[in-house]
Amino acid sequence: MRWDIFCKVIDNHGDAGVCWRLARGLAAGGETVRLWIDDPSALAWMAPGGCKGVEIVTWNRRDAAQRAAAGPPPDVLIEAFGCDPEPELIARFAEPVRPGGARRVWINLEYLSAEPYVERLHGLPSPVFKGPGTSLTKHFFYPGFTPATGGLLREGDLLERRQRFDRAAWLAQQGIAWHGERLVCLFCYEPLALDALLAQFESAGEPTHLLVTAGRAARALPPGPARRGALSITWLPHLPQTDFDHLLWACDLNFVRGEDSLVRALWAGSPFVWQIYAQDDDAHHTKLGAFLDWLEAPPSLRRFHHLWNGMAEGELPALDDAALASWGAACAAARACLLAQDDLLTRLLRFVAQKS
């Protein structure tokens, strides 16, 4: 089938990351995909070389919508995160289907959450009452952590690749000197508790090597002394999605942020701390709480999350072997639960087949 995925990059490339993984997964299964993205610049490092079967359309080019409207409409239109596709494309999509042809399907891909409403709203129809899409119906598709949701993106060979991964070889390829010390990935916004975390690493009884990702994490921890007590630091360049996965696989503890990296941290199977995207009305507090409940996070991991996300005050729990072991056990159990479920792409294809 022909798929159009519409994506607007808000600020931190997470939307682009999710949409690219989805587009790549569809293309790997033989689908034809156009990814409409208003700012494709991040794909230069996120997905160098592109992907066979995926066409990148710069959404805000003056002639893009007109040129696309001149061709056949997609069989499936995915509106990622409520981004309002171009009216010309909606009008083309709304044209009558040839007699005997499959119905076109309009999917509203929503944000990931573990909150109870996700199961209630997943798959529900949303009739369109105005604009060129009047009389059409969108369907909500909610990623989630239970069988009653849309699931999580996961490649078919992900676990096999994870098992074959050679940490030492990958680190050497990246030019990262590693001598067996604990490795920690830092992919964050600007957490107020960052200085406390660094102080804990610096004074710890065992060495820690912190791998700082490019972008906001590097701005939160700008380059400076590479050695600070028991802490050594490496600042990384922007990594392609595949190597970002490898980074999470290589580390003993992962600090991640947003949506795409949370999912990838779950698949990595190592202990992790999630910095959730903050919302003005503090709705992210409830969202984080629902996720920690689903994870069955031990008390120290829950406490660390609250402090890391600015939802509490006090000292960070110690990142000793006992704490990381209990965190790792919770993460491993959560991953096993997710692996027993169908992935998002499998559920999406099944849903589209039912609606078309």
Write out the DSSP string of 73-130.
PPSEEEEETS----HHHHHHHTSPPPTTPPPPEEEEE-----STHHHHHTT-EEE--S
Q: How far apart are CA 291 and CA 165, in angstroms?
A: 28
Phi (first) and psi of residue 212, to 5 degrees: -95, 125
| Amino acid (one-letter) located at 207 | P
Active-site residue (options: 4, 15, 31, 245): 15
| Whole-angstrom distance, CA of residue 318 vs CA of residue 18 | 33
Question: Among positive and negative, which fits the CA dihedral 302, 307, 309, 310?
Answer: positive
CB 207 within 8 A of CB 184: no
Look up 343 and say whether it is catalytic.
no
Residue 259 is a catalytic residue: yes
Catalytic residue (choose from 4, 75, 86, 259): 259
Q: Is the C-alpha dihedral spanning 304, 309, 315, 318 positive or negative? A: positive
Name the DSSP letter for residue 33: E
Residues 181 and 252: their CA atoms lie apart, in Å, by 10
Give catalytic residue positions: 15, 259
